[in-house]
Amino acid sequence: MNTDSAAYRYSAALSEVEGVDLNEIEQSLQTVVDLFASNPELKAFYESPKVPADKKKIAIQSAFAKSIDGKVLSLLLVLIDKRRTALLDNISLGFTELVDKALNRVRPLITLSRDFSESDLKVILSKVEELIKNHGDQFGVDNGKSADLIPKLTTDESLLGGVILRIGDYQWDSSVKTYLQEWKLKVHGSRIDLKTAES
């Protein structure tokens, strides 16, 4: 879990509420986080210790009462009471991690050296699926279930070729750049036998 312990406790408590719809809660949290990201003044208002709690609650209820799940609205109000409003982003991240684990979702980060086509994407994702199927335990994935891939693809021309795959803390690097770096280290680290070289 990438969040701090306090944010994790809120995320875990929210995920354990009886009858909770994990997807709906996740979407509601993301709605709030996205709105705050696009409206820094509202975020500053919500997080400011100088704004009275009652004033915050009225504004938050007015802004979100009809657009988010009631459990998330209750959380926003609790965070105001507890003066923990700055935890919201990490609570959202933590909740998504918990939902990923519960629903066996995997978010591979795939970095290519060039722009990719639809056919490239299909080949890459099929290889990633195969890797996860055979070594799912290394990625925190239940091998008994099929994983739901939510890939993020980026490009980095400095790789020169190949691909870098990152899933959680695991990274697989088959880029030309890394191959050349490793080859260079081997060459510099090797001792040359002068007699063999002269012959």
Distance CA 100, CA 141 (A): 9
- The rounded percent of the chain whose pLDDT value lies above 70 is 89
What pLDDT is attached to residue 185?
76
- Mean pLDDT confidence for 52-74: 94
Q: Do the domain assignments include residue 48?
A: yes
- The string of pLDDT tens digits covering residues 151-181 is 888 888 888 888 888 887 788 787 878 777 7
Grade residue 2 by pLDDT with cuts at 50, 70 and 90: very low
Same domain for 88 and 28: yes
What pLDDT is attached to residue 1?
46
Q: Do the domain assignments include residue 163?
A: yes
Question: What residue has token string 């406790």?
Answer: 9
For residue 109, is pLDDT > 80?
A: yes
Q: Do the domain assignments include residue 195?
A: no
Where does a domain end: 61, 77, 102? 102
**What's the chain's average pLDDT?**
85
What pLDDT is attached to residue 16?
92
Structure tokens at 171: 């990274």
Q: Do the domain assignments include residue 149?
A: yes
What pLDDT is attached to residue 45?
96
- The string of pLDDT tens digits covering residues 7-57 is 999 999 999 998 889 999 999 999 999 999 999 999 999 999 999 999 999
Structure tokens at 178: 């890394």
| CATH code of the domain containing 96 | 1.10.520
pTM: 0.72
Grade residue 103 by pLDDT with cuts at 50, 70 and 90: confident
Q: How far is CA 28 from the centre of its chain?
A: 17
Q: Give the residue with greater pLDDT, 184 vs 24.
A: 24
Same domain for 118 and 90: no
Q: Give the residue with greater pLDDT, 194 vs 62.
A: 62
